[in-house]
Copies of this chain bind each other. A is one copy, B any other.
Amino acid sequence: MSIPEPPPGTPVPEQDERPPDGQDAGPGDVPTTHAGHGYLSSNHKADYLRRLRRIEGQARGLQRMIEEEKYCIDILTQVSAMTSALQSVALGLLDDHLDHCVAAAVTNGGDEAEEKLKEASKAIARLVRS
């Protein structure tokens, strides 16, 4: 049986190479336009980074399990755990986004409020259906 490919249209970024640390956004060069981002203003940034590093470690652990030819069911259990961890990150980011970006836009009102609400709804639909 062939391995199913990801559904067509799924964006798969080529992000296998990490930029040198010196090019990472540091505290000194944060654009002011980003100040309202939920995960930043709520000081959750370090927490998300920690969780994503653990998820990256789970991806490496899965490769090791395949290389060492571990039992399929044990690999599937790890995939389920990793999927749950990813979902938790997504739900946390969505919470922060609603609490900050969307709430700010709604308070200001007008077209931006409507646009932000529509955008959030689409992101929720992608999460529910993925």
A111 within 8 A of B: no
B-contact bits for A9-37, CB 8 A (1 contact / 0 none):
01111111111000011000011001001
Indicate whether A52 sits within 8 Å of B57 (C-beta atoms), given known contacts A25-B67, A83-B130: no
Indicate whether A39 sits within 8 Å of B52 (C-beta atoms), given known contacts A57-B13, A96-B72: no
The answer to whether B59 touches A59 (Cβ under 8 A) is yes
Q: How far is the CA of A121 from the CA of B127 in the complex (A)?
A: 13
The answer to whether A128 touches B90 (Cβ under 8 A) is yes
Given A1-B96, A77-B123, A80-B130: 6 more A-B contacts, CB < 8 Å:
A6-B85, A18-B64, A38-B72, A48-B66, A80-B127, A99-B114
Main SS class of interface, A: helix
The answer to whether B121 touches A10 (Cβ under 8 A) is no
Indicate whether A3 sits within 8 Å of B44 (C-beta atoms), given known contacts A56-B10, A90-B128: yes
When distances are taken between beta carbons in the complex, the residues of chain B under 8 Å from A101 are 72
Most buried by B among A4, A40, A48, A118: A4
The answer to whether B98 touches A121 (Cβ under 8 A) is yes
